[in-house]
Amino acid sequence: MIGFRNTHNQPIYVNRAQVLYVTTIEEDVSVIALAVAGSGGKPVTIHVRGSVELVSSRLSGQPVSAPAR
């Protein structure tokens, strides 16, 4: 389980095996879609703090490089 903070600053934990995709919604906020059906059969989504690159790298277990200045 990988820990993140949602947009309400609450800790949440994601099982990387259930992640369908990660996409951006706004700067430093990403959406994680899970392989769990919600209402209407669509994937359940979670809004988390962090760029798509940061969230994706944490889910893949790869180290994150510092942003270019």
Query: Any idea what the CATH number is for the domain that residue 48 is in?
Result: 2.40.50
Structural domain boundaries enclosing 28: 2-60
> Is residue 66 a part of any domain in this protein?
no
Query: Domain total for the chain?
Result: 1
56-66 CB burial, b ≥16 within 10 A, e <16:
bbbbeeeeeee
Q: What pLDDT shows up at residue 62? A: 72
> Is residue 65 a part of any domain in this protein?
no
> Is residue 68 a part of any domain in this protein?
no
CA 14 – CA 31 distance, rounded (Å):
12
Residues in the chain where the model's pLDDT stays below 70: 63-69
3-state secondary structure of 50: coil
Q: What pLDDT shows up at residue 56? A: 94
> Is residue 39 a part of any domain in this protein?
yes
